[in-house]
């Protein structure tokens, strides 16, 4: 098959279709990222023409949902960027320990690796029993996968290394049961996690939190949408709460910058002022 290239007009038309047909607003997503991921899906599903591709997206909801998964997929992993999790251990959890109930929001949680990482941190800090972790994503299929807490056994060695680098001192394998090619994390961890669909583009705040994590999601948004989502987080975060972003993301040039201070220099973790 020759190389597929969706034109600007075709990409804009699909964005309009997604909004009018399904209510998914991708108009403020990075145009280049949106195009690249749709082109990959076009090739993957062996569509022959743009017209056929568009028809399938509009008429086959399962086909569309998989397209959304391809568009919104976030690179993730357990204890990814271990120094970030070490900072959570050493500088954030001692503060959260002073609250009677700890509420944490993982926005754009993807397949759940990072929310299970947080549950392990809370368990080791003896805070899990009084914590609620809200894990949300735009895609119902991704949320269902995250809810299962099942990951390939082939990645556990890397996750264990990340865990140790983040300051973990236990046997990482004690947190999951291995069965053939998969590892299922303990229900003690998942029992404190609430999985739900939430659209950062169109949905409002649904609670107040002491910690909000949204890592490696904002990089796929245009500037205007980044600002809107950061304001959503600001409105959802309690005074003196913490906000964590991905390694290539920042609040430096946003209106939030003057009301937030870095927790540790070099880490994408900030604390809100009073």
1 pLDDT more than 60? no
Mean predicted lDDT score pLDDT of the chain: 94
Average pLDDT over residues 228-239: 97
For residues 44 and 67, what is the distance between their CA atoms, to the nearest angstrom?
A: 10
Burial class (CB in 10 A: 0-12, 13-18, 19+), 100: exposed
pLDDT at 172: 98
Neighbours of 75 (CB within 10 A): 10
Query: How far is residue 71's CA from residue 31's CA, in Å, rounded to a whole number?
Result: 11
Angle, vertex CA 49, rays to CA 48 and CA 50, nearest 5:
140
Measuring CA to CA, which residue among 70, 65, 54 is closest to residue 16? 54
Tokens coding 75: 């690179």
Residue 208's pLDDT band, with cuts at 50, 70 and 90, is very high
pLDDT at 23: 82
Strands 209-214, 102-107: pairing is: parallel
Stated as kind and residue range, the H or E segment containing 115 is: helix 113-124
Residue 186 dihedral angles phi and psi, to the nearest 5°: -60, 145
DSSP bridge partners of 150:
184
pLDDT at 4 over 80: no
Q: What does the DSSP assignment read for 210-260?
A: EEEEE-SSGGGB-HHHHHHHHHHHHHHEEEEEEEEE-TT--STTSGGGGGE
Q: Which is the CATH superfamily of the domain at 82-272?
A: Vaccinia Virus protein VP39 (3.40.50.150)
- What global pTM score does this model have? 0.88
CATH 3.40.50.150 region(s) of the chain?
82-272
**pLDDT tens for residues 143-156?**
999 999 999 999 99
Structure tokens at 88: 């959570």
């Amino acid at each position: 098959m020759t190389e597929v290239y969706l034109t600007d007009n075709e990409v804009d038309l699909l964005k309009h279709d997604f909004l009018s047909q399904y209510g998914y607003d991708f108009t403020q997503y990075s145009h280049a990222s949106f195009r690249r991921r749709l082109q990959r899906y076009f090739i993957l599903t062996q569509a022959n023409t743009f017209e056929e591709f568009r028809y399938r997206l509009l008429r086959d909801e399962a086909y569309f949902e998989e397209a959304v998964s391809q568009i919104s997929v976030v690179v993730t992993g357990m204890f990814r960027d271990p120094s970030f999790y070490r900072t959570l251990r050493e500088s954030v959890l001692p503060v959260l320990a002073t609250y009677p109930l700890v509420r944490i929001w993982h926005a754009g949680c993807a397949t759940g690796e990072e929310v299970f990482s947080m549950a392990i941190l809370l368990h080791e800090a003896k805070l899990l029993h009084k914590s609620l972790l809200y894990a949300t994503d735009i895609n119902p299929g991704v949320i269902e996968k995250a809810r299962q807490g099942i990951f390939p056994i082939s990645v556990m060695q890397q996750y264990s290394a990340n865990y140790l680098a983040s300051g973990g001192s236990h046997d990482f394998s004690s947190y999951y049961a291995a069965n053939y090619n998969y590892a299922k994390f303990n229900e003690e961890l998942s029992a404190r996690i609430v999985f739900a669909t939430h659209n950062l583009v169109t949905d409002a705040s649904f609670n107040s939190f002491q910690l909000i994590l949204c890592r490696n999601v904002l990089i796929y948004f245009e500037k205007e949408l980044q600002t809107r989502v950061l304001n959503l987080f600001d409105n959802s975060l309690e005074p003196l709460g913490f906000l964590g972003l991905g390694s290539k993301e920042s609040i430096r040039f946003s209106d939030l910058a003057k009301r937030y201070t870095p927790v540790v220099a070099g880490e994408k973790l900030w604390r809100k002022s009073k």
